[in-house]
Structure 1
Amino acid sequence: MAKLRVDRDAVSSWLTESAIVLRTLEPEGGSEDLTPFATVLAGVQVVGLGEATHGSKEFFTLKHRLIRFLVRELGFTVVAFEAGRSACRAVDDYIASGEGTASAALTGLGYWTWDTYEVLALIEWLREYNASVPADRRVRFHGIDSGIDPVAVQLVAKYLDTVAPQRTGPFRAAIRTLTTSGTSTSIGGLVRESVAGAVRRVFRRKAVAGSESAHTASRVLRDTVEFLRADRAELVAASSVRDWSEVVESATELANAADIAAYPLLSAKGCAVRDRYLADAVRELTGDGERVVVWAHNGHVARSTVSRGVASMGAHLSDVYGSAYYALGLTFNQGSFQASRAEVAGNTGLAEFTVEPAVPRSAEALLARPGIGDYLIDFRAARSSEPVMAWLTTPAPTRSYGAIVGFWPMMKKVTGSVTLAEEYDGLAFVERTTRARSCEPGIDR
């Protein structure tokens, strides 16, 4: 098949004409300029809000602004976060009733990526909103990720002590097997520790992944979930519906984490299992017709099969919801972000990274070409334009940074390739980013 020629002038003109130009990226900016986006999302039940980095202030503030719009104007009632399912309950309790504090709940997630003033502001706003509306309009906050979370471990163990004490010993032994072998932790735990420690864990996991002890531990945890579900009526009678539901969710998180841990850390198979479980968690949240907005990395919200042939969370959601799932990626032209530094020389820790304007012929360079600042663009509206579809269906270099960044400055220009029409339904383009502001003590703000 002949390679399509991209008419950059035509694409730039289309972007200028079709963009929803953003008056501000700040959450308090009102919603008038976002009104056209409501039409774009007509009939959409799940919106995935991505990000090209896990540490850009403007990505976080824009996502906060979009969540306000989705909640107040479009009736979305669930915010789903790329964070542990059990740990997120403290955030949900806070926004529902004011229990605890926003900062303690946020820090308790165990993800330095989210422990920022920008995400803290979102949680505080969700509490303010919930306190001002009737119960049927209040927003819930749910985690969708899986890890061997101490909150989950203690909750399940305590419950088993009460309803089935004979199961507590095998359950705790399974957890010990996973945690002492280096086969498990939440992704948040991985990015919180030193990069040197993370690298050591990668190599330990290559040795133990797939071992008989790991598989045995995984079977015990999965059997625990099956027991809890099978004896629902009896267990609810002995406790409560809420207690039972929370324990089942925590036990499921632990069993899922064990499945992920069966593969080497950050391997393609492990990432595939993780994304499938992320999608499963989102699907559970839509059971009563709820409209859900998902906060995650671009690599998770993307609709297609992304890096290393892994089916992303968005690919699974696309299979389930079709056009009722909308994947909005967030990308940028230039600026700074924070991430954990990984260097062979041992220079590690949270650091600021800065990139210059996007390289020619990259996706970001063409998005920046109109010179209209920050904007949203809906790709679904481009299907009748041959020049634009030629661009959207042609692979282009792009930027994507996770929680850990290595090989710098070699990675400053591009980190991969993307076919926009396959991955996203639309993009939010930010001209310039700055580093997110961490709430964590001892980190330079």
Structure 2
Amino acid sequence: MTTFTGESYESAAAEARSLAHPLETPADLDPLLARIGDARYVCIGEASHGTHEFYAWRAQLTRRLVEERGVTWIGVEGDWPDCWRINRWVRGQDDQDLDVRGLLGRFSRWPTWMWANHDVGEFLVWLRETNRGRPLERRVGFYGLDVYSLWDSLRATMAWLGQHDPEALPTAWNAWRCFMPYGEDPHRYARAARLIPESCEDEVVALLTEVRRRVGVRSDDDELAFDAACNAEAAADAESYYRAMVRGDRASWNVRDHHMAGTIDRIARHLGPGSAGVVWEHNTHVGDARATDMARAGLVTVGQLVRERHESDGVVLVGFASHRGSVLAAGGWGEPERVMPLPVARAGSHEWVLHQCLPRRASLVFPEDRSGPWLSTWAGHRAVGVVYDPSRESGNYVPTWMGGRYDALLWFDTTTALVPLRHEPRPTEPEYETEPSGL
């Protein structure tokens, strides 16, 4: 991996300074808004799942996109059923007796702090208030893109079929009965499927086919039918994901990112050609894998897939980076969160260059020509997961060609830890990791 030293640093620093704009107030996002223009897809990252500044400024940028660019939906790195409840709340449809703490208190899958935190809560309150002044068809939605909700999605699909198409329930019950012996433990199911040549793949695919057919002919209760269809897709892909994950290879990463990109496509189709969306995910999903060493391992990312599928509609990828500070994370999978130090960035990394040459925060908007000495150089770019050990920093740097990975970067020299709405309890049973990287 290349590092910046001597003359390479000087020329890279000069280019980074030439691209940087001040970032002190929301009005300072104007150059980035100009770069986004009328792009239909804006994917906004974060360099960790536990940094206040990343969440707060991502929310500020999203607010402006809603108000000034007509964004109609937000898709996040969360489960479909959990975020569907948020979607109904911010659009004034369900749970209006709950405050935002009560709403986010329903998140139960570790790590809850990713969504049950002060910054997300503040944004959701703003979004609900903004939606109240709009007709229902123009209210901004909030959707989960992730793939982990196997049992919750099965339950939701069965509930919809029971209410709207009870004659299809036998197909749903076949899928449910197949999974029942595993006690709603996807890892137990995945381990069993590895040891014996039988799985529930056929049953869950049959359920997905049935729901697709029945949703396709419905014209009433469109929102609820859409929810059922997305839950069926999530259940089918979750079954594939957990089987791939337990094998110990990285195929599960691609199952997950293909599912998230597919959910983005389903939301865009459902809301129509006039819709525009914002995606909130970690840098490792938002950035284009082809500009990292992930591509050599055969991995893809959401940012790459959205670019490949929707370039003609306009796609902008925005990353985040920081030099030092504190971060909210856990020492092991399933453990309670704690505030940890974020050490200074490694010498020669992208963060190290930006620390040397930029003020405490800045937005860097990339030009069309990205052949310059900073944008075109491969160097380490830090990624912190929900599991983190500050004393083992070397594995947290992804070799990156910055000009290919993003279209813009928001820079913060010093950052602070996210503040959760509640603390994670100590697990009574082991919590099994769902991604080796913790991202």
The normalised TM-score by structure 2 is 0.84
Matching residue within 393, 406, 421 for 1:439: 421
How far residue 4 of structure 1 moved from its aligned partner, in angstroms, is 10
Write out aligned runs for 1:311-350 (5 A): 311-322=300-311, 324-342=314-332, 348-350=335-337
Q: 1:336 to 1:120 in 2, by over 3 A?
A: same
Structure 2 vs 1, CA of residues 76 and 124 (structure 1 numbering), >3 Å: closer, same or farther?
same
Q: Which of residues 282, 286, 299 in structure 2 aligns to 1:310?
A: 299
In 2, Cα distance between equivalents of 1:321 and 1:210: 40
**Structure 1 unmatched runs, 5+:** 25-30, 185-200
2:215 is equivalent to residue 229 of structure 1: no
Structure 2 residue aligned with 1:103: 101
Secondary structure of 1:404's counterpart equals coil
Q: Which residue of 1 aligns with 2:120?
A: 119
Matches within 5 A, 1:106-255: 106-109=104-107, 110=109, 111-112=111-112, 113-135=114-136, 137-161=138-162, 162-176=166-180, 182-184=185-187, 205=190, 208-209=193-194, 211-214=196-199, 217-232=200-215, 236=218, 240-255=221-236
Q: CA RMSD in A?
A: 2.9
- Counterpart contact for 1:52–1:330, Cα < 8 Å: yes
Q: Distance in 1 between matches of 2:249 and 2:183?
A: 19
Is the Cα–Cα contact under 8 Å of residues 331 and 427 in structure 1 kept in the other structure? yes
Task: Measure the CA separation in 2 of the matches of 1:45 and 1:241.
Answer: 23
Aligned residue type for 1:349:
P
* d(CA) in 1 for partners of 2:181, 2:408: 44
TM-fit CA distance, 1:224: 0.6
Distance 1:157 1:329, change over 3 A: same
TM-score (structure 1 length as normaliser): 0.83
After the TM superposition, which of the residue ranges 136-145 and 294-303 deviates more from structure 2? 136-145
**Residues 347-386 of structure 1 correspond to what in structure 2 (within 5 A)?**
348-383=335-370
Which whole-Å CA distance do the structure 1 matches of 2:405 and 2:300 have between them? 11
State, as a whole percentage, how many aligned pairs show the same letter: 20
> In the comparison of the two structures, how many residue pairs are matched?
406
The C-alpha deviation readout for 1:138-175, integer Å capped at 9, x for no partner, is: 21111111223554232222334433232243121233
Shift of 1:392: 2.1
Compute the displacement of 1:268 (Å): 0.9
Please list the CA deviations of residues 242-261 of structure 1 after superposition, one character each: whole Å capped at 9, or x if unmatched: 33322222111111101111
Q: Give 2:70's aligned residue.
A: 75
Q: For residues 241 and 292 of structure 1, do their structure 2 counterparts lie closer, same or farther at Cα, with a shift above 3 Å needed?
A: closer
5+ residue gaps, structure 2, are: 427-439
Asked if the contact 1:339/1:403 (under 8 Å) is kept, the reply is yes
Q: 1:249 to 1:233 in 2, by over 3 A?
A: closer
